[in-house]
Structure 1
């Protein structure tokens, strides 16, 4: 009959379970892998495979009793570390959502959300489109492979049991400003172009009050907005690739790594 001692159980948990918790915490919020279209079983099996593959090469974890409260707290700590590491990528991917939302507000597409409250989705259709585009571009750049490599490398740079409060948590919070600034930078040309269109219709309404500006303005705003979206894609891939590299650099520097 197979029997395991508490020391053997603690060694097993330290070798496989805690790395699995950190990697799984990253998969909960990482772009594409956190999508509802990816079954939970696939994510769990992928995290188990990665932890089993790299566990023998990781630094020796601290000796903690498997049945103690300290083991539970350590597992939760690893989940939070993986969660915070992948949160940088969540900021990066939602830049595209904000870009689409800003353009939609200028084009009038944001009204579709107000007119369709039964959809249960607060994002304009253009924001969802930009989100899909950003996700595919991130996958095309092999950003998910680099992110998984940083998660694995985090066990060397930030070993298990080091603690969570010594991490630069304010650096994670400051990325919120980077999120809004990057989204505004990408959407600014389209916003300025649509502003000029709205100013033109404002002048037209003053020059010809009898003209139905609303009947003419909404279709023209939509048409000009779609043209702005088309022109914005000429420089969007290269600029968004730089933002992906910045997000991965932030993720690597969060655990003390240097590029």
Structure 2
């Protein structure tokens, strides 16, 4: 009799632990792909401890998950579902950072700073440009200053309300994320267009000077002037960076809300 009671209590404990298992899978996938939280500079142990703390804090307020055996086929599919949903939400939150990373790459290519990265025998093309790192640091500071980490927690909670455990994967939600990539490219193009046009004018003027005076060494004079003009343009556009970030973040939240509503309707 005692053995049966102990087995019953153990099964109850396992059922209660599953209440934390499904949120842990989704939050861990989101924290791995989300901005700042998923950066490689954050230690993995710190990320796991942070996810555990969020799971314990949110699990009591979340809708109760269905009774599934975690080791069964349905339980494994539910775990894969939570990982996919968390990764999708994390990548969606990453889109604003991707926009400014693309802007940094475009500007760095135009000013000639990316050649040092391509000729680096150690890092090669895997390392990001200096301008891209500058934009990433500024956007990361704006992300933390505008309580973006708290917004990510709110997104996690709302995802369990609109996309509960066991509801399946919604094609409409993933299609919304794919369509958002066009928004990323268009926003990056609009942000980098003034800088690219200004640098094009500088390089066009030096091309005219080279045609007028062929004896002029364009490489020794043009590259430093292009870098100085690029730094001046970046300096002039930096005051508008917070406003652009907030505007893009609002559009991102609208897209994210549309994604969750599409997922809730299946």
Interval of TM-score (by shorter of Structure 1 and Structure 2): over 0.9
**2:186 alignment partner, one of 178, 181, 193:** 181
SS of equivalent to 1:234: helix
Aligned to 1:243: 248
Structure-1-length-normalised TM-score = 0.92
Indicate conservation of the 8 Å contact 1:58/1:156, yes or no. yes
1:3 aligns with 2:6: yes
Aligned to 2:31: 27
Q: CA deviation at 1:109?
A: 0.6
Aligned to 1:129: 134
CA distance, structure 1, for counterparts of residue 190 and residue 67 of structure 2: 49
Q: CA deviation at 1:184?
A: 1.3
Structure-2-length-normalised TM-score = 0.90
**1:157 alignment partner, one of 151, 162, 167:** 162
SS of equivalent to 2:94: helix
Structure 1 stretches of 4+ with a deviation exceeding 3 A read 1-7
Aligned to 1:107: 111
CA distance, structure 2, for counterparts of residue 221 and residue 49 of structure 1: 49
Q: CA deviation at 1:135?
A: 1.3
Aligned length: 257
SS of equivalent to 1:57: coil
SS of equivalent to 2:113: coil
Aligned to 2:196: 191
Q: CA deviation at 1:167?
A: 4.4
Give the structure with the larger helix fraction. 2
SS of equivalent to 1:233: helix
SS of equivalent to 1:118: coil
CA distance, structure 1, for counterparts of residue 65 and residue 101 of structure 2: 40
- List runs of 5+ in structure 1 lacking aligned partners: none
Aligned to 2:94: 90
- List runs of 5+ in structure 2 lacking aligned partners: none
Q: Alignment RMSD, CA only?
A: 1.9
Q: CA deviation at 1:22?
A: 0.9
Q: CA deviation at 1:122?
A: 3.6
Indicate conservation of the 8 Å contact 1:22/1:79, yes or no. yes
**1:79 alignment partner, one of 72, 83, 94:** 83
1:56 aligns with 2:60: yes
Question: 1:179-235, CA deviations, whole angstroms, 9 ceiling, x for partnerless residues?
Answer: 111111111111010010011011111111121122111111111011011011121
Aligned to 1:220: 225
**1:18 alignment partner, one of 22, 26, 32:** 22
Aligned to 1:232: 237
